[in-house]
């Protein structure tokens, strides 16, 4: 059984992330990403309105698939993390 992990999945357009998870040997996929990060950019207004900029990560979230927000961050100094934590994550993230 092969599991495919796709990092930064929230920034990949759906059409870009479907190919690696459709390989014959793949039985499971783990999508890792952050919905608060910017999505892929679409230059065509028509394509954007049709939802072609949406990620597979975002589509699965719309259908209620399991999402898990880690509640601890190790990457930034607390003075730096305080702004995104408050602005995007509603103060749910603790600094470690």
For residue 59, give both structure tokens. Answer: 């589509």
Burial bucket for residue 11 (CB in 10 Å: 0-12, 13-18, 19+): middle
Tens-digit pLDDT profile for residues 71-88: 899 989 999 999 999 999
In this model, does residue 11 exceed pLDDT 90?
Answer: no
Region of 25 (left: φ > 0; alpha: ψ -120 to 50; beta: rest) is alpha
The answer, as to whether pTM is greater than 0.95, is no
Query: pLDDT tens across 15-55, in order?
Result: 888 777 787 788 888 888 888 877 777 888 898 888 888 88
pLDDT at 14 exceeding the cut of 90: no
Domain ranges of the chain: 2-65, 69-95
């Amino acid at each position: 059984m092969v599991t495919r992990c796709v990092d930064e999945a929230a920034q990949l357009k759906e059409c870009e992330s479907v190919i690696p998870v459709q390989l014959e040997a793949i039985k499971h996929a783990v999508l890792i990403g952050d919905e608060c990060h910017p999505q892929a950019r679409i230059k065509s207004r028509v394509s954007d309105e049709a939802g072609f900029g949406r990620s597979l990560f975002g589509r699965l979230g719309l259908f209620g698939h399991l999402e898990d927000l880690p509640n601890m961050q190790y990457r930034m100094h607390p003075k730096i993390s305080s702004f995104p934590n408050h602005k995007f994550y509603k103060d749910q993230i603790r600094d470690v």
